[in-house]
Structure 1
């Protein structure tokens, strides 16, 4: 199973009877899964079915689904409300004998509100059912295309993440081989510092200072951190290769990477090791940013 991104876009079209419709799906990053739908009046019964289908193929990301529907086959008709018109003519006839006024014209009568009615074509229940079934099928096509786009993006993200792992591994090997991390080098630096302290004052106990130096040398060793970084690299590569919805796990692993690298930097008292640690920290941050896009 390949990795999938949480971002994507898809559109599908369809028609049934007098209806033409269009689905537009857009997904963005989110901690969980959420489908937000915008349906035209009378099409709300599609929501439950489409949400269930989307949750079966997507596990993370906020998906915005919009359905646009228009009626194309039948045209609206004009109808004269004869009852209203007759009432108006009757009132006009009554007033004609009482007032010195011009008789109303046809266009004047038709312009009165309520005389002319625009009648929308009545829909057939069978046509509505068929249209909603066709719209559901069009949603299936749109969600399939969305999943495919997210997978293509996930493949690209997987390649980037693998590159970041290679970079971290190379930096870890560079730190491993750095002369400054060897116990002898650490002890030598501490010995120089102790010698400088003894020269400045005779109040220090040489034996106690030697013991403290050994403890500090042990604490300054980053062997344990380098081993854990190697373990994290192996886990990350295994998850990337396996694919599927592993974004949360990789995000947690990125935090662990960052913790180990920070410890390496805090333990190091060597310029070269510190620079390697800072460079590794930058790569880990790049890794984490890309992981935020994964499902």
Structure 2
């Protein structure tokens, strides 16, 4: 099952007097990385949220954005600093006695004092139930993210399978051309020797056979073609696995490239070289697609 590393998911849920909105997006990354942005008073739940993401996402960078709105009017409490008021009244009485002032301190005078009366919002401390609801909301968003990653992964898989089928087709052609390389070399070598000697001196057949044998050994690509076919089989098996296979596929593409490069360097044959170039081009396109697979 092929899964893309890019996707997006959203979810929202109401609980504890809040309407919580969660957006989740993921992009390519060599490993798994989770970044969470949320109200700072909920930072204590960051580890639980990361674990929730990593249960479903095995590879890629995931950014989680948590925002919240209050659904109900917040409760508030009013507190009075009576010690501050007493000190103020005592100071006022001392001023009257010392300087002969008249008049009394009234309520409106006290209310003008900064910090005498304070209004505070009463907040319910987040608890385990709050944490469970928050993680459940995130799980909803991650589920939608996973659905999108799977849909995109299906398109990637189909494209990769089509290119793999093309590689197999060209591989058959390579197997057909490989024996011709030695035979054509033998014919060219014999022709050049006959031309050089102008048919005045008979060709040393043993020496000619030795040269052809040396060339045949150097240009033999049977082993590379066999390994390449084995890589195709492994590729098919990986595409059928249920676990993330992006890294394994990337490694296998590198091995295929290595075999194809060796074939190209060994075989001095125009038709074979053209097919090697075609395979390398297809492998590069496959590699680009695999960079996006989990």
TM-score normalised per structure 1: 0.79
Distance 1:258 1:114, change over 3 A: same
Contact 2:181–2:269 under 8 Å retained in 1: no
- Alignment-derived partner of residue 71 in structure 1: 70
CA distance in 2, matches of 1:44, 1:171: 56
Q: Secondary structure at the match of 2:167?
A: helix
Gaps in structure 2 of 5+ consecutive residues: 100-106
| Alignment deviations for residues 112-137 of structure 1 (CA, whole Å, 9 cap, x no partner) | 753564422332x5x75443322121
Q: Secondary structure at the match of 1:73?
A: coil
- Alignment-derived partner of residue 161 in structure 2: 162
Contact 2:181–2:268 under 8 Å retained in 1: no
* Structure 1 range deviating more: 277-286 or 114-123: 114-123
Q: Secondary structure at the match of 1:269?
A: coil
- Alignment-derived partner of residue 26 in structure 1: 25
Q: Secondary structure at the match of 1:251?
A: helix
- Alignment-derived partner of residue 43 in structure 2: 44
Contact 1:74–1:121 under 8 Å retained in 2: no
User: Could you tell me how far 1:12 is from its partner in structure 2?
Assistant: 1.0
CA distance in 1, matches of 2:236, 2:214: 36
- Alignment-derived partner of residue 114 in structure 1: 115
Contact 2:26–2:60 under 8 Å retained in 1: yes
CA distance in 1, matches of 2:10, 2:216: 62
CA distance in 2, matches of 1:60, 1:80: 52
CA distance in 2, matches of 1:155, 1:60: 17
* Structure 1 range deviating more: 139-148 or 112-121: 112-121
| Alignment deviations for residues 116-161 of structure 1 (CA, whole Å, 9 cap, x no partner) | 64422332x5x75443322121122122222222211211111011
1:1-295 paired onto structure 2 within 5 Å: 2-75=1-74, 113-114=114-115, 117-123=118-124, 125=125, 128-178=127-177, 181-192=180-191, 208=207, 210-295=209-294
User: Could you tell me how far 1:81 is from its partner in structure 2?
Assistant: 5.2
Q: Secondary structure at the match of 2:227?
A: helix
User: Could you tell me how far 1:231 is from its partner in structure 2?
Assistant: 1.9
Q: Secondary structure at the match of 2:152?
A: helix
TM-score normalised per structure 2: 0.79
Q: Secondary structure at the match of 2:244?
A: coil
Q: Secondary structure at the match of 1:288?
A: helix
Runs of 4+ in 1 over 6 A off after TM superposition: 85-98, 106-112, 196-199
RMSD over aligned CA atoms reads 3.7
Distance 1:12 1:197, change over 3 A: farther
Distance 1:93 1:262, change over 3 A: farther
CA distance in 2, matches of 1:189, 1:272: 16
| Alignment deviations for residues 188-234 of structure 1 (CA, whole Å, 9 cap, x no partner) | 234445567778xx9xx985565233211222132322222222112
| Alignment deviations for residues 41-63 of structure 1 (CA, whole Å, 9 cap, x no partner) | 33234333333333333322222
| Alignment deviations for residues 82-126 of structure 1 (CA, whole Å, 9 cap, x no partner) | 65578678878988998xxxxxxx999978753564422332x5x
Distance 1:131 1:50, change over 3 A: same
